[in-house]
Structure formats: structure tokens, C-alpha cells
Chain A
Amino acid sequence: MNTFSYTRAGDVATAVREVAADGAAKCIAGGTNLIDLMKENVERPSRLIDITRLPLAEIQPSADGGLRLGALVTNTDVAYDAQVERRYPLVSKAILAGASPQLRNMATVGGNLMQRTRCYYFYDTATPCNKRQPGTGCAAIDGFNRMHAILGPSAQCIAVHPSDMCVALAALEAVVRVTGPGGERAIPFAEFHRLPGDTPHLDTNLAADEIITAVDLPPKGFAAHYAYLKIRDRTSYAFALVSVAAALEMDGDTITEARLALGGVAHKPWRDRDAEARLKGQSATRDHFQRAANALLRDAKGFGHNNFKIELAQRAIGRALRQAAAGEEHP
């Protein structure tokens, strides 16, 4: 770990001022990803701004009838919040599919959005990585890429976003609230994370002088028909190879609205409006689900070790949609 200085911010304005004043400073809350990356010398901040004492740890109803999750609420407190469990069980289920209880007790809403890829080449400072050090190349494209992207990659980067919670938030079309020197703004979830393109060092569209203050869940929680299906190498405490958040609105056996978001397959939680539109007005049959799954993966591309993810994702989508349509609890 490099040496760094430390300050504790007492209010949001101070935190924004401090992060804006020093381009090499970083905010820290749970620290579960940042400290790990600092120990690996991947992150080398000049200064840590401790934001854990900012008043952003509340869950409260929002003006539009949704729910506002403060940026500093822990993953545990979101997952087990009575309102989240009742109205947004997809979010609870996705969070509880990730990490371990100890890490969920530390990790926060804002930090979950800001966590970085677990690509092993990104972590290994002895190898080239355009995300860690722009212009050096990508060791994963021709390397061991079993965990890597099959959708939306670029010639520069095939890393995937590791979050489970963010997959659920993408499906629910949450809104990220941020504050910068110019005031507040709201970023639709689909626009928060970026595809790698020619700028793989940028994970998100959060400006360097902004901090996340909350995530707003819209009124519609799809609590009657949802599923979060996570496929991984072991039953617990592992990142997703493929995960699927499925949320349906049903009128009898007819799907009136469908949301699908995938984790483990791209640089950001993956949505495909065209695949979702194919489900609208259809009956909830295996055949219709498979057609949507095939449409979603139509442009998927493997890099060798991860070719299996394409069929795995198609089948996972089918199963998640069946579970969501059935509307039962599927542990």
C-alpha cells in the first residue's frame, strides 16, 4: 500500500470540496474493494476522504412513491429492510447473493456501484491492462478469460462489472443521485456505468468531483413476479459467471411488462430493450422465454475460455423468467 493522508468529512459539501480539490484523492466508506485494491497497488490515492459520518445512511420513502436508499446504508441493512423486502424483493435477493455477511455489513450502496472489476489482469500490476494503465494493452483478450465479457466488449477491454445489487437496480430502473460543486443531479441507472470502448479506465459517468448521495428505487418493484438467478463456481461467496434479474408484470398468463438485466456478462449490468419488448403481450411459455433469451444473446461473442457463457446465459434467462412468471419463492 502507498502512503496517503486521511481526512474525515463532516458534511456533503465538505466532501465534495475535498474530492474536487485533489484529483488523486478517493472517498472511502466500506472500503471492502478500495483497501483491497490499495494493498495490490492498483489504487494509489494521495488521500482518503472518510465519508462514513455523512448523514446518508437512511432508507426513506421518496416523493414519487418510491424508496430512497442513502449512499451509506450497508448492503445488509438494505437487504433486510422491511420495505425493501416487501416492495423490492429483487434487490434483497440480489444483495444476499453477493459477498459474505461480514462484507455486506461493511459495504455500502454507493460503494457497490463504484466497485471495480475483478479481472485478474486488472489486479496484477505485472501485466498490461488498459483499465489500470491506459495504452498498455489487454492481457485478457488472448489470456485466461473464463470470467470475461460476452456482450459489449471493446478491443481494449473485456472486463465485467462484478455487482449483483446493480443488476437488480438496472432491472428496476433505479436512479442514482449525485452531488458535485454545481449541485445535485440524477443519473438514470442505465447511464451510470459505461461500456469500455476506448476509455476502459472509466467505469462510470460519475464526474471526478461528484459523490453519490442516494439511489432512488422507482415506485414499481415487481414484487409479485421476480427472480434473481446467479450462476457461479460454488454455491456461495463467489462472483457470478452469469446472473439474471427478471421482473415481470402479468395479467393472468400474459406478460404486460418485462425487464431483464444480466450480470457477469458485460462491463455494466446488461439490458436489452428489444429482447424485453419481445415478451410484452406474450404468454408465459418456455418457447417465448427462449426466443427472448436468443434475441438478447444474438450479438454475444466469446473469447475462448468464456464461450460457454453464451449458452449458459440463454438457459439462465429461460429459467429466471420461468421462476418470475411462476411467482413463487425460489431459494
Chain B
Amino acid sequence: MNNTPEHDAPMKPTASLPAKSRITLTVNGAAKPLEVAPWTTLLDALREYLELTGTKKGCDHGQCGACTVLVDGRRIISCLTLAIMKDGAEVTTVEGLVEGDALHPLQQAFVEHDAFQCGYCTPGQICSAVGLMTEGRAKTADDIRELMSGNLCRCGAYPNIVAAIEQVMHAGERGAGR
């Protein structure tokens, strides 16, 4: 139990709540002005304010990877990121991966390989895989397993997820060799 005076103090009245701040995020290429409280996470800003519900809230504690998005090109955990700290940043969510009507190659590969069952972890898996490709550290299936370890899939679609990523990774290598 929290017995210190500090913890017993009544909640501050609403009137004295710290003011919301105006920030601008560039989300999937479009500038999005927002008013956020200091404690609004990037995940909640995307889902609740911008209605981009592709990004999922799984554990909300940085353990499952369902909320993975790309910020300034790097994959991060949006549930442990405060929106206010990312003022001015470029955010890419799963909704921003399509190119016109065409699925992103990783989205297409996930469909082709049946790399999901319930689909809840899939947006995080795909954003994470996009980050993995950009980083360029994965060379083998084992590397993919290690570097995708921050994305859990409780349906256990891992073999197909690895296969989907491997296919796109090797297609990229062939493309580069042309």
C-alpha cells in the first residue's frame, strides 16, 4: 500500500491539470496538428485522436510489439513513447505502407504466406519488419527470428512470418543485384 503523504495526497483538481500542448506530427506523409496532454502516448494519439486504429494496443507496457510504428524511419514502441516528445517527427503506421492501391511487398508477403491467424499482432509485425529491412542487419532466417523477437504472436504464426519476411528480403537482394 502507498502510505507516504505524497501518495495519500488527493488528486489535483482538474483546473490545475497541466495544459495541453499543440504539436504537429507528420503521419503517413500528412501534417497532423494535435493537442495532447503530457501523458498522451503516441499510441493513444494515433488511435484515439487520429483514428488510425491499425496500430494495436496489446500489453501497453512495451513487451509485445503490437504497437510498433516507424518514427523518423526507425521502428519503435509507440505505447512507451509520449506524443509530446515527438513534436515534429515523421510517423509511419501500417496504414501508410500501401503505395496507391498496391500493398507494400511485406503486406503482400504476409497474405501469401498466411503469416497470421487472428491478425492482432500483424500491423506491429509488418511495421517491425519494414524497420528490419531498413536496418539491413538480418541475413539469415535465424537473424530474422532474433531481430523480430520484440513482436509476439500468440497464435504462433512465427514460421510463416519468418517465411514472409525472408521472401521479401531475398527479393530485395535479387533486385539490388540486377
Taking CB as reference atom, which chain A residue is nearest B147? A101
- Residues of chain B contacted by A101 (CB below 8 angstroms): 75, 128, 131-132, 135, 147, 150
Taking CB as reference atom, which chain A residue is nearest B60? A39
The interface size of chain B toward A, counting residues with CB under 8 Å, comes to 40
B65 touches A100 (CB 8 A): yes
Tell yes or no: B161 within 8 A of A by CB. Answer: no
Contact of A100 among B7, B11, B149 (CB under 8 A): B149
Q: Which positions 50-98 of chain A face chain B at CB distance < 8 Å?
A: 50, 52, 76, 80
The interface size of chain A toward B, counting residues with CB under 8 Å, comes to 36
Measured in the bound complex, the distance between the Cα atoms of B131 and A99 in whole Å is 16
Q: Which positions 110-131 of chain B face chain A at CB distance < 8 Å?
A: 128, 131
B61 touches A36 (CB 8 A): yes
Tell yes or no: B17 within 8 A of A by CB. Answer: yes
A3 touches B1 (CB 8 A): no
- Residues of chain A contacted by B4 (CB below 8 angstroms): 133
**Minimum C-beta distance from A120 to chain B (A):** 13
B74 touches A36 (CB 8 A): no
Tell yes or no: B107 within 8 A of A by CB. Answer: no
**Minimum C-beta distance from B14 to chain A (A):** 9
Taking CB as reference atom, which chain A residue is nearest B75? A102
**Given A106-B77, A237-B149, A52 contacting B85 (CB threshold 8 A):** yes
- Residues of chain B contacted by A302 (CB below 8 angstroms): none
Measured in the bound complex, the distance between the Cα atoms of B151 and A35 in whole Å is 19
Tell yes or no: B103 within 8 A of A by CB. Answer: no
Measured in the bound complex, the distance between the Cα atoms of B74 and A102 in whole Å is 8
**Given A100-B149, A101-B128, A105-B74, A3 contacting B65 (CB threshold 8 A):** no
Measured in the bound complex, the distance between the Cα atoms of B158 and A7 in whole Å is 42
Measured in the bound complex, the distance between the Cα atoms of B84 and A239 in whole Å is 30
A4 touches B131 (CB 8 A): no
**Minimum C-beta distance from B54 to chain A (A):** 17
- Residues of chain A contacted by B80 (CB below 8 angstroms): 31-32, 35-36, 103, 106
Tell yes or no: B41 within 8 A of A by CB. Answer: yes
**Given A236-B149, A237-B149, A3 contacting B84 (CB threshold 8 A):** no
Measured in the bound complex, the distance between the Cα atoms of B17 and A6 in whole Å is 11
- Residues of chain A contacted by B61 (CB below 8 angstroms): 36, 39-40
A102 touches B65 (CB 8 A): yes
Tell yes or no: A206 within 8 A of B by CB. Answer: no
A50 touches B75 (CB 8 A): no
Tell yes or no: B68 within 8 A of A by CB. Answer: yes
16 CB-based A-B contacts, threshold 8 Å: A1-B39, A3-B17, A4-B18, A4-B38, A5-B18, A6-B18, A31-B82, A32-B80, A41-B2, A48-B38, A76-B74, A102-B65, A105-B131, A133-B4, A235-B146, A236-B146
What are the nearest 8 A-B pairs in CB distance? A100-B150, A6-B38, A236-B149, A5-B18, A237-B149, A35-B80, A105-B74, A102-B150
Seen from chain B, the residues whose Cβ lies within 8 Å of a Cβ on chain A are: 1-4, 6-7, 11-12, 17-18, 21, 37-39, 41, 60-62, 65, 68, 74-77, 80-82, 84-85, 128, 131-132, 135, 137, 145-147, 149-151
Seen from chain A, the residues whose Cβ lies within 8 Å of a Cβ on chain B are: 1, 3-6, 8, 24, 28, 31-32, 35-36, 38-41, 44, 48, 50, 52, 76, 80, 99-103, 105-106, 125-126, 133, 136, 235-237
